[in-house]
Structure 1
Amino acid sequence: MSSPPWDYIAKLVCIGDSGCGKSSLTIRLCEGRFSPHHDVTIGVEFGSRIVPPTGPPPRQKHMKLSLWDTAGQETYKSVTRSYFRGASGALLVFDLTRKQTFQHVTDWLNDLRQIAEPDIVVVLVGNKADLAQPDSPDGDGGNRREVTRAEAEAWARRNGILEYVETSAKSGDNVEKAFTRVAERIYQNIQAGKYDLNDRRSGVKGPGAGGNRQVRLGPDRGKASGGGCC
């Protein structure tokens, strides 16, 4: 049997209020496209992406990100929370054009940290940056930004978040960066021996886990096996 095209597999969850673009971010990462119309996520949906080595050595390994796109509605929170267990990373997403979604990230982070492992890597993501520019073609007078970069960065620092990234699922800007930053820190944690690769609760597994059916994504993109990506 051939070796799998990845060295480690890490479970990531995308969390945040409904309508922030979590599904659009995972579609953009997994399939390289943007869908302007997407059904509301019910419960949790799954996708995956293999991240090639990036950055300076010693990272010479490929990591498969197992992405869990969670529902943001209060109705499904009990289901959503159950998927926090065994996650090694999280994208905490809010909508730059809706202040209330930023105001709710504290609650999402508290829920995550109550359930997930202590070393979970979290990146704060302000999505819909394409609507938060001075020349935004939104049809009602330009920039719709309601959360400043300074506000978000200050919140991230206060709450021990790895980084704040502004993304646009529509244009693809910084989507790769957001996911890759999580993968890079997880890899650093692996090198530091912070995970038991034989314990599923750690959120990271070695190459002996799972199958070898995922698509290797770099210049070419494909849909993940096992149920799509959004």
Structure 2
Amino acid sequence: MASLDRVKVLVLGDSGVGKSSLVHLLCQNQVLGNPSWTVGCSVDVRVHDYKEGTPEEKTYYIELWDVGGSVGSASSVKSTRAVFYNSVNGKAFFIYLYDILMV
């Protein structure tokens, strides 16, 4: 049986850039029809079998953490986000999404 390694991915960015839509697409293989605001954090999981270029198959348990991007400088928002960042300890990946507005 293949080994199971956990990978944590934090999906970060401003509000409304498509973090929830990206996570839903990656985990459910479907476009999110009617996205809503993420309050706090939403976690979704994908199991991925990696074979190419390795002597043995490896299975990854990928946790995608969609951290709410509400705009605001309130200290309560900053301290709430810190809860999700503290458990990283250098063992996670980050995806930063942004929106380019062309005028």
Q: Give the TM-score normalised by the residue count of structure 2.
A: 0.78
Once residues 49 and 56 of structure 1 are traced to their aligned partners in structure 2, the CA distance between those partners, rounded to angstroms, is 21
Give the structure 2 partner of residue 10 of structure 1. 7
Residue identity matched to 1:94: Y
Deviations 1:137-173, CA, capped at 9 Å, x for gaps:
xxxxxxxxx4xxxxxxxxxxxxxxxxxxxxxxxxxxx
Q: Is the 8 A contact 1:6 1:64 kept in 2?
A: no
The answer for unaligned runs of 5 or more in structure 1 is: 99-145, 147-230
- Does residue 1:46 correspond to 2:50, yes or no? no
Bigger RCO of structures 1 and 2 (CA < 8 A, at least 6 apart): 2
Offset at residue 81 of structure 1 (A): 2.7
Which is greater in Rg?
Answer: 1
**Residues 42-61 of structure 1: CA deviation (Å, up to 9, x unaligned):** 11111100111143124621
Identity of aligned residues (%): 25
Q: How do 1:94-109 residues align onto structure 2 when only pairs under 5 Å count?
A: 94-95=98-99, 97-98=100-101
Classify 1:67/1:6 alpha carbon distance in 2 versus 1 (closer, same or farther; 3 Å): farther
- Structure with greater proportional helix content: 1
- Cα-Cα RMSD: 2.1
Runs of 4+ in 1 over 2 A off after TM superposition: 74-78
Q: In structure 1, which of residues 60, 65, 69 is the aligned counterpart of residue 66 of structure 2?
A: 69
- Separation in 2 of the partners of 1:85 and 1:58? 34
- The structure carrying a bigger strand percent of its residues is 2
Return the alpha-carbon distance in structure 2 between the equivalents of residues 37 and 6 of structure 1. 36
Residue 57 of structure 2 corresponds to residue 56 of structure 1: no
Q: Which residue of 2 aligns with 1:21?
A: 18
